[in-house]
Structure 1
Amino acid sequence: MVAETLAIGRDYPFIRNIESPLTRDMLRPLDPRCHTVQFSQALTESDYRTLSDWIGQYPSVTLRAYGSYDGSIRDLDFLRFFPSLHKFSADALYHSLQSIEGLDYLPASATLLGLGQTKKKLSLKPLGRFTGLRRLYLEGQTKDIDVISDLTSLRSLTLRSITLPDLSVLQPLTQLRALDLKLGGTRDLTLLPTIGQLDYLELWMVRGLHDLSPIAELKSLSYLFLQSLKQVTKLPDFSRLTKLQTVWLENMKGLTDLSPLLTAPALRQIAVIDMAHLHPEAVGILAKHPALQQVLPGLGSNRKNEAVRKLVGVPSGEGWSKPDILQVD
């Protein structure tokens, strides 16, 4: 989600920083690659109106409120000036944000929403009216989280620093294509195969998670991303995952046997990053995979990485990107 990757304090082609008073330079035409316009302190009412008119030219761009280092962003009532905004994120507002009731000013047809963690636990009930929502990012917000079950148009969902007893709240999301579980302690993945038609799954630093066996039933999965799962010591059998093409393994210190990857019939790309505990031979077994086209080794030294390349005999993967499903409107 945007909260994890946005730079602060300067503009990049992908981001436009604004503040009051608005200037002509701030409102110059956006680079076509720009995905976010953001501000870190409350604007004047006049500037909100001007910003609303200007950003209306860019319906694919997300408006982001963040930071509030001066404590000026305490609620989202400024959204009354944005009745046509379809993409909005409010994050890194831990100390200042006291209410999200202002979401009621957004159109029910909004397609992307992001809410970061706050010191005060906020009810997620205002999300219930966004029945056409396609992408949702939540961090640390668990009060009334059952409302997610009503968001049946969701295609992409990220839950960060959120612990669920199981995944039953996600079962109604029949159209879900991408699921990210980051941090938190959601250990029970038993219901994972009953959720949507997942193309992409990311599990990152999920505390206490050790059993990945439900992944073996995700027949629509094409991209699997696993990072920093300390208690995972075994990969599942991938033989039923006939669409799985990419596996990214990063800082998976408990893994020593990569041979289950050989069971994935369509596997084309494998990344093994920050895995210095492995010997080149442990990755070299992937040379036996008939469909493999790229291996990106990260075993802690150039010597070991070069040994992997020679053993596997396929090019290193460069410039990998996550699938298009994560860019849904």
Structure 2
Amino acid sequence: MKERGCKAMKSYKNQVLVVCLNPTFQETLVYKRLQIGEVNRTRLHRLDASGKGMNVVRVLTQLGTNCTLLSHLGGSRIQEFLELANKDKVNIVWTDSNSPIRTCITILQTEVFSTTELIQESESVQIGTEEEIRHLYTKHLKEVDAVIFSGTRSPGYSENLYAQMVKEAKDTGKFVVLDYRGEDLKRSLSMKPNIIKPNLSEFCSTFFPSYDVIAEQQDSGHLKQQVSQIMKELYDKYQTMTIITHGSKDLWAYDGVSWYEIPAKKVKAINTIGCGDAFTAGLVHAYINEQCFSQALDTALNAAALNATCITPGSLYDNSLKNFAR
């Protein structure tokens, strides 16, 4: 469908607060080809502070946007996480959850250009963590004009936490972007976030829970009519714009005026972990630099494409090759 107009965006000049309640150590291991059932030795690997929000802040920082990550940290590796974040010039405000930071593993195969993600589920945060997060959130919310909520919350937080935090941001006039799914997303919609940005699998699992899981490379054309109808209903009811990514497939978006169907940028992908986070960062960076919606989508797609060409997850360039072990 053709774009029918360019919806101007309001200008925000101050900081962005990114909320991520699921921090991660990201181990990236590179092989020519992984042999299942065999001993596999890698000559190339790296360790990064990660989690969706950390990836978003790293890219925003690389783009030159002032931003802060709000999260919890816990366990015996807090200082290691902070040192890794400091190398990326990421500013973090945090509270101790007394729960260990999880580790996720990315396996890259260079011969077949594949990315495989092994996810460790988070442990529950301890009693009192949510109260401290809310205190830090209210304090730092005063300093910013835009808030990004990125990723699912760890166990131990109350089911209404995200919705309450979104309401607080909207009540104080902040621009709010949500990148999470499921019941948390549904509960947050009545607070009228400005943009939601799930991928297609997350969108379908939220609004069409009886559907099978949508794989990243799966054809999605048969879903377009149903998905676009929900996107329009969300805008009509909540004035919320929707952007849906689907890996290397076309992006779908609706801003209340126009439907957008835009091809992903074609690149030789190395590591696709963090592409959605780079997209979110590029989108908000464009927004605060007064780009209209269609321009912001293009900026976001460029950021996602750059991320895919890097080994570092959630980054526009590999600026720390010395962090690699060989």
TM-score normalised by length of structure 1? 0.32
Report the TM-score when normalising by structure 2. Answer: 0.32
Structure in which a larger fraction of residues adopt helix: 2
Using CA pairs under 8 Å that are at least 6 residues apart, name the structure with larger relative contact order, 1 or 2. 2
Larger Rg, first or second structure (1 or 2)? 1
